[in-house]
Structure 1
Amino acid sequence: MAPHYKLVLTTCENQDVARQLAKQLITQKLAACVNILPAVESVYMWQNEVVQQTETKLFIKTKSEKINKMIQTIKELHSYEVPEIQVVDVTAGNLAYFHWLDEVLN
């Protein structure tokens, strides 16, 4: 199976912001499903300082042809100056799930 399906990872400052972003991605048919993990501890370097904070993690399921628009939309809607946006190829999985994903994102 070619990497036709993608998993996009991002973080948000809290659950409310994550829910709003998820709803926009679903409404615009850029994602078929978004899983929201309410609390992840993040430690990172920002402006020469170590930052430690609780964030909300999103796992976004989509198709290759939606990626460019999704990245643009996340950047436009995100509250962070430099949002995390990582795109992972999905190379195998449940074919029935992928058929559902195709139906939802048509």
Structure 2
Amino acid sequence: MAIGIYTTVASDEDARALARAALDRRLCACVHLEPIESLYRWKGELCEDREVRILFKTIESRRAALEALIAGSHGYETPAIWTVRFDGVDPAYAAWIESEAGG
């Protein structure tokens, strides 16, 4: 099953390094990088930062390894890592994700 795993990082350089590491290990088929602005509370303070949101397109069997890579490589004390299930994916595209993610 095709899934997406999201995280956010502090910089474009961090995002590209994490994306390349995941692709090199065949833990995902594709990575999208998006600049975003985040407003959040951290340790009682209101924070506003520019970040990069990363979407890894992968398969369920690669989930644990990809999440471990993200957690182990992340610069944040408490990184956001979450998964979304892809519904209604074109069968050819889903097969491409599976083949490229080492499935």
Cα distance per residue 1:17-66 (max 9 Å; x no partner): 000000000011111100111x2010111011011000011111000011
The runs of 4+ residues in structure 1 deviating greater than 6 Å are none
Runs of 5+ consecutive residues of structure 2 not aligned to the other structure: none
Matched residues in 1 for 2:63 and 2:52: separation? 21
Pairs aligned (count): 102
Matched residues in 2 for 1:68 and 1:105: separation? 13
The aligned residue for residue 18 of structure 2 is 21
When the two structures are superposed, what TM-score results if normalisation uses the length of structure 2?
0.95
Q: For 1:1-106, what aligned pairs fall within 5 Å after superposition?
A: 4-37=1-34, 39-106=35-102
Runs of 5+ consecutive residues of structure 1 not aligned to the other structure: none
Cα distance per residue 1:62-105 (max 9 Å; x no partner): 00011111111101001111111010011212111111112212
Give % identity.
Answer: 27
RMSD of Structure 2 on Structure 1 (CA): 0.8
Asked if the contact 2:2/2:98 (under 8 Å) is kept, the reply is: no
